[in-house]
Amino acid sequence: MIELPELVAGGLAAGTLTALALGGSLLRSRRQKAALRAEVTELRARLEGTEGAFVTEVEHLAARRMPAAAAQLAHPHLRVPGPAGQHTPGTPTGIALEYVLTALREELTAQRTRIDAAAQAGLRGATREIQAALYRLQDALRGLQQRYDDPELAQTLFALDHENEQSLRRAQVAAVVCGAWVGLAREESHVVDAVTGGQARLSGYHRVRVNNHLEPGTALVSHAVEPVAIIVAELLDNALRHSAPDTDVVVDLEHVHHGVCVTVDDAGLGMTHDERARAQRLVAGSDPILLTDLGDPPRMGLAAIGQLTRQFDLNVDVSSPSPYGGVRAVLRVDSHLLGRIDPGKRPPSASAPRSTRERAVRREPVREAAGRATPVRAGAVPEVPVPEVPVPEVPVPEVPVPETPAPGIMPAGFPAVAGPAPDRAGPTDEHERTPAPGREDPGDLAGLPRRRRRTPAAAPDAPQPQPAARRPEEAAAALAALQYGTAAARAPKRASAPEPQRTDDEGGAAG
């Protein structure tokens, strides 16, 4: 039988062990709570830091990155800033923010295209009405030019017609930029006529110097005539705007392997590298054209060239500087847009510069004939072959021949001829003829070249040929040349003209 003291001792031992076990458990639980409390505090701090970084990224996105992305659509050289945090790229937050920018760009592009298409449609309709009114005014002015022949009135009508032509060119360019047709369908024409036609649409046309090195008869197919004239007019307009008024703009027409090149050189301001790159993008026509990209007010010259080069398979390059210090613009017309016109049946307009090849062909027969000429004796007048030129026969009235002048005295304008003077004192047979002054007797010049008449003598009863009727275009060109000469004589000297002011940075010859 267990005694009471032993039971008490056992109970105390068991209580002590229980107390120790409970105390250890309590201590562990307190330590775990402290650890959990510290972990919760750390997680809360990290969450607050992440939230703050996310808020900062969103604010940075709204304040800087989205405006820069919107501006980049109009100005591709601008750079969009990256995320504010260095570790954000590649994270889910960074990927989500980049997706926001991509969606923004797509939506802005779609809205800009829609709005610009609506603006182009409205402008296209307005320019169509303006063009129709200007064409009617042009017909009325030309009718007045044919009806009245008063010089002062004709001068005024031609000035009004030229101003109307410039207004028509501006309306036509605006319509082309908006996707409209060029507005005119012309017949097959000489390349040089298309170039001078574009030159005639400008106010400073008298400063343009055209050098025609094309083969006579080189022509454009009908659907390429008006586009080439528009492109040449815009390139010349840019060259004239951005060069001094006392300098010339040089245009060269040359044959190349793939067709024909029209080169425009000016001595103007030139362009920077960025301006030249932008001008080249515009004239290439590879990117869609938006009116909002053309400035305020919009500069449409190079944009119209880009539309035409894309529609009619033409090529324009403005990437190289001119040897005169300005800009060189080259228009290349490929062979499939070229044709051939007989220059004898349909010659170029009277105001068009003649081809240098045509003059070379005309001089060649003269050189060959001079090489085959028979040597003449000393003192005799050599005979120079003259190319055959059809001259209308004009009857010469009978004029009494004056008495032969004394030896050594010849009428003015006649060359002295070597040989003895005719004997006036000797007897004369009525069947013999004394050579007239300045002529030799054919019987005394055997073996020497004889003078030949340029045209055969007209028969008394032969019908006189009528001169060919002039075409309306030739008559208009001749009258325009007369009016230009009158205006040039009345105009002040170029040295007193003001210096040019750069109002357009489009290129061309500066754009």
* Residues 80-100 pLDDT 10s: 888 887 777 878 888 888 899
E-strand stretches of 51-191: 189-190
At 470, is the pLDDT very low, low, confident or very high (cuts 50, 70, 90)? Answer: low
CA angle 284, 290, 294 (to 5 degrees): 80
Mean pLDDT of 24-53: 84
Q: How far is CA 132 from CA 128, 129, 136, 257, in A?
A: 6, 5, 6, 40
CB 207 within 8 A of CB 242: no
Q: Give me the phi and psi of 417, to 5 degrees please.
A: -110, 130
Q: Name the nearest CA neighbour of 203 among 226, 175, 233, 246.
A: 233
Query: Which of 79-93, 153-167, 180-194, 262-276 is predicted with the least confidence, judged by mean pLDDT?
Result: 79-93
Confidence (pLDDT) at 233 = 94
Neighbouring-strand partners of residue 264: 251, 329
Amino acid at 364: E
CB 353 within 8 A of CB 342: no
Quick: pLDDT tens for 225-257: 999 999 999 999 999 998 888 999 999 999 999
Q: Give me the phi and psi of 317, to 5 degrees please.
A: -130, 130
Confidence (pLDDT) at 490 = 62
What CA dihedral angle connects 11, 15, 17 and 23, to 10 degrees? 180
At 174, is the pLDDT very low, low, confident or very high (cuts 50, 70, 90)? Answer: very high
Confidence (pLDDT) at 163 = 92
Confidence (pLDDT) at 463 = 53
Give me the residue label for tokens 């010089």. 151
Q: Is the pLDDT of residue 164 over 50?
A: yes
Tokens at residue 367, please?
């050189």
Q: Is the pLDDT of residue 411 over 90?
A: no
Mean pLDDT of 350-377: 61
Phi-psi region of 507 (alpha: psi -120 to 50; beta: other; left: phi over 0): left
Angstrom distance (rounded) from CA 406 to CA 135 = 70
Tokens at residue 210, please?
């055209």
Angstrom distance (rounded) from CA 310 to CA 306 = 6
DSSP secondary structure letter of residue 420: P
At 373, is the pLDDT very low, low, confident or very high (cuts 50, 70, 90)? Answer: very low
Give me the residue label for tokens 């046309």. 205
Angstrom distance (rounded) from CA 197 to CA 204 = 13
Q: How many residues does the chain have?
A: 511
* CB atoms closer than 10 angstroms to residue 315: 16
* CB atoms closer than 10 angstroms to residue 225: 24
Angstrom distance (rounded) from CA 287 to CA 281 = 8
Give me the residue label for tokens 């808020």. 55
Mention every residue, 6+ apart, whose C-beta is less than 8 A from residue 89: 82, 83
H/E element, 143:
helix 92-147
Tokens at residue 486, please?
């009158």
Q: Give me the phi and psi of 246, to 5 degrees please.
A: -100, 15
Q: Is the pLDDT of residue 458 over 70?
A: no
Tokens at residue 99, please?
């997706």
Q: How far is CA 380 from the centre of its chain?
A: 57
Mean pLDDT of 111-140: 90
Q: Which of 171-180, 363-372, 422-431, 497-506 has the largest mean confidence?
A: 171-180
Confidence (pLDDT) at 480 = 72
Confidence (pLDDT) at 240 = 92
Confidence (pLDDT) at 403 = 41
Q: Is the pLDDT of residue 148 over 50?
A: yes
Q: Name the nearest CA neighbour of 388 among 368, 365, 355.
A: 365
Confidence (pLDDT) at 265 = 93
Q: In percent, how much of the chain has pLDDT > 70?
A: 71
Tokens at residue 122, please?
């409205």
At 391, is the pLDDT very low, low, confident or very high (cuts 50, 70, 90)? Answer: very low
Query: Which of 104-113, 278-287, 501-510 is predicted with the least confidence, judged by mean pLDDT?
Result: 501-510
Confidence (pLDDT) at 2 = 55
| More confident call, 379 vs 21 | 21
The sheet carrying 338-340 orders its strands as 189-190, 218-220, 338-340
Angstrom distance (rounded) from CA 228 to CA 313 = 11
Query: Which of 118-132, 258-272, 301-315, 408-422 is predicted with the least confidence, judged by mean pLDDT?
Result: 408-422
Mean pLDDT of 402-416: 38
